[in-house]
């Protein structure tokens, strides 16, 4: 599975409390020519997991055997050749899931009563998912985009089509009132249905959304959007209903790039305003404390920023990569991102170098 499959319902299910133990196993993966070390790394982590499982007095023999069997299946299903930068295995006594992530994760074996989701949550946030609605007078399609890759989506009744109507061509020809298709009440009613379906979709998963279609259709949809969330971008172009994902992705590239630049400038502006109002935080420990107390309204993080840290008397202290110890957090940035999202903060990843003067991570505080 990939990060675009992490819907709110899936995340809720992964975080649900289960009978102890359930296993979360994470590891970084590599592209050619370095991926040959990945099978060795996976075998070592599995050996460590089995050793700890067999030494745990809280685990019954039946539970141990069931989990080991599912772990073997998970390893067999893990496609290391097709993995990106990280892989996560979730295993319990009834089944397993393998997640491939476009984001680095540390080597880790964790037994608990719920799965460790921080790396999935951070990967999804960095991938900047969005909705794309492609419309014409005859059809409206819904796509979900992740990292610029489009996947067809069928929520809220999509793809939508107009209700069939009976026309009277002879009457229209006789009185000369053949309307433009986008002035026709049937089409207008269809676009209202599209707009209502988008509103419900955004209510369930409020991602940025983009509109593609003829200018006349976009005008009507944008007018109705004034009552709710505005589209993040619009592309006035006909003939893209029914296009392949690759064709659509190429067509919307400039629109997504413009949105990304606009979004980065907006974030920097909000950070500047926060500094003036003294509701600004930067630096690992200050942001950690602000996130932990639910004070963060906006968290900005550079795309490839990662940091190892150690908890020392209630404060996070940055460490060099490779340092180990019981209080070491190798993926503290992912932990901060997940904690921020759990407190309804907005998390935005910005290009590398954007936040150099703020140690690669900064926040706008609620108070």
pLDDT digits (tens, 9 = 90+) for 92-104: 999 999 999 988 8
178 neighbors 172 (Cβ within 8 angstroms): yes
Neighbours of 283 (CB within 10 A): 16
Write out the residue range of the structural domain in which residue 200 sits.
128-261
Cβ neighbours for 215, distance < 8 A, ≥ 6 positions apart: 236
- Residue 83 pLDDT grade (very low, low, confident, very high; cuts 50, 70, 90): low
In a domain, 309, yes or no: yes
Are 24 and 104 members of one domain?
Answer: yes
Q: Are residues 206 and 229 in the same domain?
A: yes
- Distance between CA atoms of residues 151 and 1, nearest Å: 14
| Residue count (the chain) | 367
Asked if residue 271 belongs to a domain, the reply is no
139 and 116 within one domain? no
Confidence at 80, pLDDT banded by 50, 70, 90:
confident
Instruction: Give residue 163's pLDDT.
Output: 83
If one counts the domains in the chain, the total is 3
Q: At 323, is the pLDDT very low, low, confident or very high (cuts 50, 70, 90)?
A: low
Note whether 361 and 299 are within 8 A (CB).
Answer: yes
Using an 8 Å Cβ cutoff, are 327 and 259 in contact? no
Neighbours of 192 (CB within 10 A): 13
* Higher per-residue pLDDT: 248 or 315: 248
Q: Is the pLDDT of residue 142 over 60?
A: yes
What is the residue whose two structure tokens read 């039946």? 62
**Residue recorded with tokens 């939508």:** 160
Whether 268 is covered by a domain: the verdict is no
pLDDT of the residue at 317: 85
Q: Which of 103, 124, 145 is the last residue of a domain?
A: 124
Which position has the token pair 């940055």? 318
Sequence-ordered alpha helix ranges (H) in 178-244: 185-204, 215-225
109 and 132 housed in the same domain:
no
Asked whether residue 273 is assigned to any structural domain, the reply reads no
Any idea what the CATH number is for the domain that residue 223 is in? 3.30.420.60
Where b means 16+ CB within 10 Å and e means fewer, 341-359 reads bebebebbbbeeebbeebb
Q: Are residues 200 and 115 in the same domain?
A: no
Please say if the pLDDT value at position 325 is more than 70: no
Contact 25, 106 (CB under 8 A): no
The model's pLDDT over 87-138, given as tens digits with 9 standing for 90+, comes to 999 999 999 999 999 888 989 999 999 999 999 999 988 888 899 999 999 9
Measured in degrees and rounded to the nearest 5, phi and psi for residue 191 equal -65, -30
Query: What per-residue confidence (pLDDT) applies to 173?
Result: 55
Q: Looking at the structure, do residues 254 and 164 belong to the same domain, yes or no?
A: yes
pLDDT score for 224: 54
Quick check: pTM over 0.85? no
Mean pLDDT of the chain: 88
Same domain, 22 and 140: no
Residues 119 and 135 reside in one and the same domain: no
Please report the beta strands in 258-338, taking only residues with DSSP state E, as ranges in sequence order: 280-282, 296-302, 308-312, 315-319, 328-329
Q: 248 lies in a domain?
A: yes
Residue 198 is assigned to a structural domain of this protein: yes
Could you tell me if 247 and 132 lie in one domain? yes
Per the listing, tokens 């550079």 go with: 302
**CA 283, 288, 293, 295 torsion: positive or negative?**
positive
- Residue 174: per-residue pLDDT: 46
Looking at the fold, whether 208 and 144 belong to one and the same domain comes out as yes
pLDDT band of residue 171 (cuts 50, 70, 90) is: very low
Render pLDDT for 180-214 as a digit per residue (tens, 0 to 9).
677 788 888 999 999 999 989 998 888 999 999 99
Residue 126 CB contacts under 8 Å (≥ 6 apart), including other chains = 102, 103, 303, 349
Question: Are residues 119 and 191 part of one domain?
Answer: no
Tell whether 16 and 108 lie within a shared domain.
Answer: yes
């Amino acid at each position: 599975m990939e990060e675009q499959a992490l819907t709110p319902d899936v995340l809720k299910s992964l975080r649900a409390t289960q009978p102890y133990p359930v296993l979360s196993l994470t590891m970084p993966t590599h592209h050619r020519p370095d991926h040959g070390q990945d099978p060795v790394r996976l075998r070592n982590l599995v050996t460590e997991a089995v050793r700890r499982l067999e030494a745990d007095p809280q685990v019954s023999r039946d539970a141990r055997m069931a989990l080991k069997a599912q772990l073997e299946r998970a390893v067999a299903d893990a496609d290391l050749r097709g993995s990106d930068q990280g892989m996560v295995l979730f295993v319990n006594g009834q089944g397993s899931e393998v997640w491939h992530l476009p984001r680095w994760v540390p080597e880790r074996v964790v037994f608990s009563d719920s799965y460790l989701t921080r790396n999935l949550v951070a990967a999804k946030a960095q991938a900047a998912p969005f909705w794309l609605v492609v419309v014409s007078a005859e059809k409206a399609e819904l796509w979900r985009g992740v990292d610029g890759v489009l996947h067809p989506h069928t929520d809220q009744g999509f793809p939508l089509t107009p209700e069939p109507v009976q026309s009277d061509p002879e009457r229209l020809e006789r009185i000369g009132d053949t309307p433009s298709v986008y002035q026709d009440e049937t089409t207008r009613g269809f676009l209202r249905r599209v707009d209502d379906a988008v509103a419900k979709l955004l209510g369930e998963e409020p991602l940025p959304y983009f509109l593609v279609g003829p200018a006349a259709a976009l005008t009507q949809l944008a007018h109705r959007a004034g009552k709710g969330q505005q589209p993040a971008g619009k592309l006035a172009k006909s003939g893209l209903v029914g296009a392949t994902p690759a064709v659509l992705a190429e067509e919307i590239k400039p629109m997504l790039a413009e949105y990304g630049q606009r979004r980065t400038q907006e974030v920097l502006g909000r950070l500047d305003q926060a500094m003036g109002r003294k509701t600004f935080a930067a630096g690992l420990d200050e942001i950690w404390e602000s996130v932990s107390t639910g004070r963060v309204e906006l968290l900005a993080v550079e795309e490839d920023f990662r940091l190892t840290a150690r908890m020392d008397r209630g404060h996070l202290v940055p460490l060099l990569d490779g340092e180990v110890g019981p209080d070491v957090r190798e993926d503290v940035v992912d932990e901060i991102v997940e904690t921020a999202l759990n407190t309804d903060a907005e998390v935005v990843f910005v290009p590398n170098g954007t936040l150099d003067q703020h140690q690669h991570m900064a926040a706008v505080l609620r108070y």
